[in-house]
């Protein structure tokens, strides 16, 4: 689709100046080169107009990572007092076709910051996470929305649903931690006790799933509890003849914490299971477990 000639008749496009013999030149489509030529000309005189706005739209459709164009587009939008809700619809479509692009998500954030209205945001993010529940950009933006607009209330329910769907979704476990500990209202002792029970149930469903193991150790450390409370769980998994390097690794942590307080039997047991992990159950991490063994030995 060529640019309308009469709209641009007063502008002399400025060609790309990338030197006499540039490295890795891109074989641009003629229309992109033309649009960029006009862009160079109008940005030089800082023109903020309807046609400039259309031009930026054309360029980002070619290259949504063109951060300079987005930055310019924002200035045009604000100068012309454009309806930013329409722009939200535009960027929504863009994100739907390029969900892993820094510039698009940032553009949306700039708009919402200006509008100070997040009413459409969570449903929109949900839609994106529905396609890819681990989209890093979507989660980053979601945390900004929740924090900025104080939308903590239903977040735990949302996380619960995602974990019911895929208990291995590490992004959802991370969001759980965010919901509990970045919320200005801190979790009560009673809540934390229930939370630990919830995670233990999730671990039992799939003991080889690393995410809830990391999470439970994280909340234990955060709330200054003793990691020994996980011993029963680890032993129960062992008794069912389930081999889980995470369960055995957790026992290493437990024994090490006791060995540091002087327990010789825990030290011995810790060394024994480090060997088991290094030689048998987690051989890819052989050096790591041997290192943990040496630490235990030195205590």
Partner 1 sequence: MGILSGSRKLEELFTNTDALPTESSKAQTDTEVSVYELFKDARDKKLINTIKLNRGSHIKYVKDGLKGLPSYLVALDASKPWLCFWMLYSLDILGDELSQDLVKKGISTITKLQNPTGGFGGGPGQISHAAATYAAVNALATIGTKEAYDLIDRETLYNWFLKLKREDGSFVMHEGGEVDVRGAYCVLSAATLTNLVTPELTAGTAEWIKRCQNYDGGIGGEPGIEGHGGYTFCGLAAMEIMGKTDLLDIPLLLRWATSLQMQLEGGFQGRPNKLVDGCYSFWVGGLFPLLEAIMTRNLPEKDVEQSNSEVSKYIAQSLFDREALQEYILIACQSPKGGLIDKPKRGADHYHTCYCLSGLSTAQHHVIYDFERAKGKDLDSGARSLLWKDDVTNRIVLGDPNNLINSTHPIHNVALPNVRKMIEHFYGERNF
* Alpha carbon distances (Å) from 107 to 37, 92, 95, 146, 249: 23, 10, 10, 17, 43
Active site residue 92: no
Least distance in Å: CB of 119 to partner 1? 23
Considering only residues 36-65, where is the footprint of partner 1 by CB under 8 A? 40, 43, 62-65
CA dist list (Å): 298 to 110, 142, 254, 258, 288: 54, 45, 17, 14, 15
Q: Determine whether 226 is exposed, middle or buried from the number of CB atoms within 10 Å of its CB (0-12, 13-18, 19+).
A: exposed
Task: Decide: is 2 part of the binding site for partner 1 (CB under 8 A).
Answer: no
Q: CB 164 → partner 1: shortest distance, Å?
A: 10
Cβ closest to partner 1, residue 88 vs residue 296? 296
Site string for partner 1, 248-277 (x = CB under 8 A): ------------------------------
193-252 positions binding partner 1, by CB under 8 A? 205-211, 214-215, 217-219, 221-222, 242-244
243 torsion bin: left (phi>0), alpha (psi -120 to 50), beta (else): beta
How far apart are alpha carbons 227 and 236 in whole angstroms?
16
Q: From the CB of 64, what's the least distance to partner 1, in Å?
A: 8
User: What gap in Å lies between CA 13 and CA 7, rounded to an integer?
Assistant: 13
As measured in angstroms, the least distance from the Cβ of 8 to partner 1 is 18
Exactly one of 27, 45, 81, 241 binds partner 1 (CB under 8 A); which one? 27
Report the residue from 7, 74, 79, 82 that binds partner 1 according to the rule CB under 8 A: 74
Interaction of residue 126 with partner 1, rule CB under 8 A: no
Contact between 191 and partner 1 by CB under 8 A: the answer reads: no
The residue (of 27 and 116) whose beta carbon lies closer to partner 1 is 27
Residue 32 has, within 13 A of its CA and on its CB side, a CA count of 12
Q: Which of 92, 100, 222, 239 is catalytic?
A: 100
Nearer to partner 1, 186 or 286 (CB): 286
CA distance 110 to 146: 15
Instruction: Give the residue with the Cβ less far from partner 1, 17 or 153.
Output: 17
Single out the residue of 99, 103, 94 nearest to residue 74, CA to CA: 103
Site string for partner 1, 127-166 (x = CB under 8 A): ------xx-x--xx--x---x-----------------xx
Q: Confirm if 222 and 181 have CB atoms less than 8 A apart.
A: yes
Residues annotated as part of the active site = 100
């Amino acid at each position: 689709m060529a640019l309308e000639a009469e709209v641009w008749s007063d502008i002399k496009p400025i060609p790309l100046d990338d030197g006499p013999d540039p490295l890795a030149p891109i074989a641009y489509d003629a229309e992109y080169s033309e649009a960029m030529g006009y862009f160079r000309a109008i940005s030089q005189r800082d023109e903020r107009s309807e046609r400039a706005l259309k031009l930026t739209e054309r360029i980002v459709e070619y290259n949504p990572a063109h951060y300079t164009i987005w930055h310019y587009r924002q200035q045009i939008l604000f100068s012309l007092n454009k309806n930013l809700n329409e722009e939200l619809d535009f960027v929504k479509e863009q994100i739907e076709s390029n969900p892993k692009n820094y510039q698009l998500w940032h553009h949306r954030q700039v708009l919402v910051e200006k509008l100070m209205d997040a009413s459409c945001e969570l449903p929109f993010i949900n839609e994106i996470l529905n396609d890819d529940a681990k989209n890093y950009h979507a989660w980053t933006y979601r945390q900004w929305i929740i924090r900025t607009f104080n939308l903590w209330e239903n977040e735990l329910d949302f996380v619960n649903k995602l974990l019911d769907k895929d208990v291995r979704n590490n992004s959802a476990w991370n969001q759980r931690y965010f919901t509990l500990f970045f919320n200005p209202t801190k979790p009560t002792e009673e809540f934390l006790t229930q939370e630990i029970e919830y995670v233990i149930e999730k671990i039992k469903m799939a003991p080889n799933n690393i995410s809830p193991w990391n999470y439970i150790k994280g909340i234990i450390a955060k709330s200054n509890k003793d990691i020994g409370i996980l011993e029963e769980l680890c032993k129960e998994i062992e008794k069912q003849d389930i081999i889980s390097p995470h369960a055995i690794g957790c026992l290493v942590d437990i024994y090490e914490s006791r060995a540091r307080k002087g327990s010789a039997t825990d030290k011995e047991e810790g060394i024994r299971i480090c060997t088991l992990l290094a030689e048998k159950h987690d051989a890819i991490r052989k050096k790591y477990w041997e290192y943990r063994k040496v630490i235990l030995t030195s205590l």
